[in-house]
Structure 1
């Protein structure tokens, strides 16, 4: 049985994504649909206008009532359709809840519920200087339920709101471009330079990390010692959509600050390592299941991914699950449990989600990712949209394996 490095992680939890250059930020934000939800009254109209102007200036796509083209549909449905077209939901809160209809909800409450249903990032900005007693009681009740799920920022002027919105967007952009590295059981953000070595076969990697977490920094620096402790067990490197077995060759460090080290780790794949690193013994089919159909490697990989990545055993037919069980048994904790036990959220949850999918897939199956999209983490989880292709001489039809769903953070 392989070593399970997921149950002994050392994560650089103090890491923050380095800001992007302006050109890269504009590239990321271009066309992003950002829904602005608020009352349209004297209190909120100036803030709405400031948000609209700022988002247009940076190249984003503000979705708000002022810009909606009239359609042959009820205004309520137009709001909800706008949320469905959005990437981010921004709620501006003042004193008023709005007019509730026969359902008991106001338009902004319905928009918020739709954003929750779609599991897109939700940001709340509250106007400062308003006491609960001055706010509509229905709005207070709704906000109390949201406080458990969404962090809240406050603003005093349109300028302070725009500044905070800009900071949130830039942080999200940086998180989407900066990736995490898993080196054995060590997890930290950094860079990986890869090059092939024709003379010996395999690859050489230079890992560069600017680490601030004390335990991770100590473990990385200890890799240079000939007799290191078992605190760091290094046998694989994973990043982006790549994962390889490796051995560490050397470690060097530059120290500029007392709490930060620039660490470079040189490592290589085993000699004469070529091709894919998955387990080819899994490239078999089993007969039976629903209507006696055969389950091939791609079908078995899909069942395994549903269990390991999304923790959704109930979505698999019992007869199929029983048939596939020996070949879809988990080698480590499922991803939702890992996120809960590490108390991961935000950028770290996004990073662990990507690393888990890449490392576990590429250790189990020879192949590659056609694409792998990990969306920004919300308070309740991370949405994933990916496609993996198994490459094996025993498989004639390279059927893509869809990996789509929501990885929960909280139970």
Structure 2
């Protein structure tokens, strides 16, 4: 993101969907329930009932039925076909696989992370926890905030609340128009025209969007638009406002693409040979990303500009973004920096851990490079500590 001050609709960020909207979202969603089975029958049943009540399908061993596959592989296959992972951690770690050393719950968690599922993990209020289970919990807390619950009923309530929050984020995706970040109720893009509809609750956001209108003398200046894995310049052609009876303003922003989404660009195609080492375009992208996120040294010296990636974190450090909204807004910043610079075609996976006492947090980022000569880009992954 550029250094222009960001204007964020924080009020809309807290909005939740109606029960009917949540059920519409949940209709085709599969939620995998992961835990040891012995001793947690009541918890698993309560969670499954809560998932069904929302309209989604619980995926749990009790209803798997007969399978040709090895049980462990059957579990992992079901994880891959699911949308959300719900982990329940009690005192026991579970039997360890002879080959991997992981319990079934741990292996399912790792597969869920690998496949990019939405994740929620709850810890039961127990007197003692096995050593392997404590280690597993510490691993989970690197990237996820867990919650301790003291009854099956409380667990079911919290799982339902988490699914509500996931539905809100999926149905009302975040987007960025110029320096304005807001939650949209819909985004339409036909390759030429982008239409963003939103219920705006913040007056500063509504005012900033109104200022994008063409002034009647000439065409509006182009602004950067970011949503999903899409980023590009577009010119606002109209901004429609409808003041509702509540505290929000219905806004429809229509923009015309100004040259379409960028391809790799010149730097995205460059390789570099130092005489002793050769760096591919994907190598240079990784160097730039590590430099931008983790402030790692650039080994290219005076030719370091070949690996340049715009610094995505700076503008976010002064916005007061809540923990709840940090991940989707940080994703926008990364898409703008990586896809916008031609270093990536999309973000594959993003994990952002909770903030520690020293103001740091862990980040894992996986991306896919740009398509070259008809071939899909190479996937790369980095992991490190950020301050935001």
TM-score calculated relative to the size of structure 2: 0.67
2:379 paired residue number: 402
Aligned length: 354
CA separation of 1:280 and 1:249: change in aligned 2, threshold 3 A? same
CA distance in 2, matches of 1:234, 1:45: 57
Pick from 178, 183, 193 the counterpart of residue 188 of structure 2: 193
Deviation of the 1:67 alpha carbon: 9.3
- Higher Cα Rg: structure 1 or 2? 1
Give yes or no for contact 2:365–2:382 (8 Å, CA) kept in 1: yes
Pick from 275, 285, 308 the counterpart of residue 329 of structure 1: 308
Deviation of the 1:381 alpha carbon: 5.3
Within a 5 Å distance, the mapping from 1:334-353 to structure 2 comes to 334-335=312-313, 342=319, 344=321, 348-353=325-330
* Deviations 1:11-63 (CA, angstroms, capped at 9, x unpaired): 22232464645354132x32x4331358x44xx54223333555588423236
2:27 paired residue number: 26
1:307 paired residue number: 291
2:331 paired residue number: 354
CA separation of 1:111 and 1:343: change in aligned 2, threshold 3 A? farther
Give yes or no for contact 2:241–2:252 (8 Å, CA) kept in 1: yes
Give yes or no for contact 2:232–2:262 (8 Å, CA) kept in 1: yes
Pick from 197, 208, 211 the counterpart of residue 208 of structure 1: 197
Give the SS at the match of 2:239: strand
Deviation of the 1:123 alpha carbon: 2.7
Within a 5 Å distance, the mapping from 1:48-59 to structure 2 comes to 48-52=44-48, 58-59=56-57
CA separation of 1:397 and 1:244: change in aligned 2, threshold 3 A? closer
CA separation of 1:302 and 1:328: change in aligned 2, threshold 3 A? same
2:162 paired residue number: 168
Give yes or no for contact 1:183–1:234 (8 Å, CA) kept in 2: no
* Deviations 1:115-162 (CA, angstroms, capped at 9, x unpaired): 5998683432656xxxxxxx62669xx79989996252646563x533
1:184 paired residue number: 178
Give yes or no for contact 2:288–2:309 (8 Å, CA) kept in 1: yes
Deviation of the 1:400 alpha carbon: 0.8
* Deviations 1:303-353 (CA, angstroms, capped at 9, x unpaired): 323433x53737x8x4xx43751212343x344x66655454555233223
Give yes or no for contact 2:368–2:379 (8 Å, CA) kept in 1: yes
2:235 paired residue number: 247
CA separation of 1:123 and 1:399: change in aligned 2, threshold 3 A? closer
Give the SS at the match of 1:313: coil
399-408 vs 5-14, which moves further: 399-408
CA distance in 2, matches of 1:311, 1:277: 25
Unaligned runs of 5+ in 2: 96-101, 355-360
1:230 paired residue number: none
Q: Does 2:1 match 1:13? A: no
2:98 paired residue number: none
What is the aligned-residue RMSD (CA, Å)?
5.0
1:130 paired residue number: none
1:105 paired residue number: none
* Deviations 1:241-288 (CA, angstroms, capped at 9, x unpaired): 222212323322111145211112222234xx3x54358442553542
Q: Does 2:42 match 1:46? A: yes
CA distance in 1, matches of 2:294, 2:331: 16
Give yes or no for contact 2:123–2:148 (8 Å, CA) kept in 1: yes
